Amino acid sequence: MMDMLFQTFRLGRYDLPHRIVMAPLTRSRARQPGNIPSPMNACYYAQRASAAFIITEATQVSMQGQGYAWTPGIHSRDQVEGWRLVTEGVHKAGGLIFLQLWHVGRISHPALQPDGMLPVAPSAVQPKGMAFIENERGEGELVPFLAPRALQTEEIPYIVQQYVRGAKKALEAGFDGIEVHAANGYLLDQFLCSSTNQRADDYGGSVENRMRLLNQVVEALAGIWGPDRMGVRLSPMGTFNDIEDHDPERTFDLVASALNEYGLAYLHLVNPDVPALERGTEPHPRALRMLDTIHKQFRGPLIIAGGFDHETAESWLQLGRADLIAFGRKFLANPDLPERFCQHARLNADDPATYYGGGAIGYIDYPTLAQERGEEPRIQIDERWR
């Protein structure tokens, strides 16, 4: 019997050839100045076009939304033109590609903000940890986070408009769809979670208030793209970027129920117990209860990312825990990951030293099976990128 991983799937308006999705992966390789996607980025994504579909690296919807050095944006004309190189390359290689829209909120630093301003957040709660900035020598550097500035109520419609502008520019750039990044401790997640949202206005307090901004963003973007070309990413029970919700079961039960009403193409979850999968053990019962809760409330397709290999991905599909599985680091190092899974071939090991920043090394030089057989690569690499 064919693995469920290789069964076709209808996602919104698209027929997918299998269920192996490329997860969003920050790589910090946008061309400078201007945080502009380049021909090298187009090569990287085109190499991975055999994914069921690609979700791009998180892409800031404004200068204010940037939180890491050298990440791409979708708010300027030059960025749109750069992303068009990417979408054309992926389409020429036969793939589909969705843009992940991102505002980091407090997970930033004045060195990355327009005019050196403080990052914004639901509340002025300083995160633990370090920001990744470009220093005066043009090098990447880690510096402590500062306390952000709490957004005024009258500013919040402008945040929605940042997403609207990014969504419109994603259309111009030729993407097949968009994903709203509401996970991993970034701005929309900061509004959802009680530890970072201490507001007393219509955007704070109750879960219904805390999810108001996410609902407004999704509703506005559905009017631009149509919900059948949209997804949302959530990280229920996540703690990345020093975030926590005091009652995640109730919070994400209501969030999933609200998102279900839009008729989205999918909901994308960060696995609530990645370490268990990586250890080869069963997830914690609380994590499984969370997944069950979201399944009951959101009746559209569910994508789960985090810690999977071929065997565990197939198992979760068979158990009905997910409809598609997103792979990150395995796609990073294996541009032909679906073929390698299909043939049960050896996987390339990823190199953490080349995850962020740099050039072609550790980015577009991972070999495919065809190259290992001595065949010419399908996507040609310009020697100037090396």
| pLDDT grade for 378, boundaries at 50, 70 and 90 | confident
- Angle (deg, nearest 10), helices 212-225 and 156-172: 30
| pLDDT grade for 76, boundaries at 50, 70 and 90 | very high
Residue 381 has pLDDT above 90, yes or no: no
Condensed to tens digits (0 to 9), the pLDDT of residues 36-53 reads 999 999 999 999 999 999
The CA angle 173-176-182, to the nearest 5 degrees, is 90
pLDDT at position 247 is 97
Condensed to tens digits (0 to 9), the pLDDT of residues 234-260 reads 999 999 999 999 999 999 999 999 999
Q: Per-residue pLDDT averaged across 165-175, rounded?
A: 98
Contacts of 38 (CB under 8 A, 6+ apart): 29, 30, 31, 82, 85
Q: Per-residue pLDDT averaged across 249-277, rounded?
A: 96
pLDDT at position 1 is 55
Residue 384 has pLDDT above 80, yes or no: no
Q: Per-residue pLDDT averaged across 297-307, rounded?
A: 97
The pairing of strands 149-150 and 140-144 is: unpaired
- Alpha-carbon distance of 26 to 107, in angstroms, equals 14
Residue 386 has pLDDT above 90, yes or no: no
Whether 178 and 101 have beta carbons less than 8 Å apart is answered as: yes
Residue 57 has pLDDT above 60, yes or no: yes
Condensed to tens digits (0 to 9), the pLDDT of residues 192-245 reads 999 999 999 999 999 999 999 999 999 999 999 999 999 999 999 999 999 999
Buried residues in 172-185 as b, exposed as e (16+ CB within 10 A): ebbbbbbbbbbbbb
Condensed to tens digits (0 to 9), the pLDDT of residues 177-190 reads 999 999 999 999 99
Cis omega (within 30 of 0) for bond into 72: no
pLDDT at position 375 is 87
Quickly list H helices, the chain: 39-47, 77-92, 156-172, 187-192, 207-210, 212-225, 248-260, 274-279, 285-297, 310-318, 329-333, 337-343, 369-372
Condensed to tens digits (0 to 9), the pLDDT of residues 143-169 reads 999 999 999 999 999 999 999 999 999
Q: Give the domains, in start order, of the chain with CATH numbers.
A: 4-385 (3.20.20.70)
- Alpha-carbon distance of 217 to 163, in angstroms, equals 7
Q: Per-residue pLDDT averaged across 69-77, rounded?
A: 98
Look up 262 and say whether it is catalytic: no
Residue 98 has pLDDT above 60, yes or no: yes
| pLDDT grade for 376, boundaries at 50, 70 and 90 | confident
Which residue, among 314, 360, 58, has the nearest Cα to 183 in the 3D structure?
Answer: 58
pLDDT at position 379 is 73
- Alpha-carbon distance of 33 to 37, in angstroms, equals 11
Which residue, among 360, 377, 234, has the nearest Cα to 297 in the 3D structure?
Answer: 234
Residue carrying the six token digits 């187009």: 42
pLDDT at position 65 is 98
- Alpha-carbon distance of 184 to 182, in angstroms, equals 7
Condensed to tens digits (0 to 9), the pLDDT of residues 335-370 reads 999 999 999 999 999 999 999 999 999 999 999 999
Percent of the chain past pLDDT 70, that is, above it, reads: 98
Contacts of 105 (CB under 8 A, 6+ apart): 67, 119, 120, 121, 122, 148, 186, 187, 188, 190
- State the chain's mean pLDDT as an integer: 96
pLDDT at position 2 is 65
Q: Is 224 helix (H, G, I), strand (E, B) or coil?
A: helix
Of these residues, 44, 45, 186, 363, which one is catalytic? 186
- Alpha-carbon distance of 73 to 102, in angstroms, equals 9
pLDDT at position 280 is 86
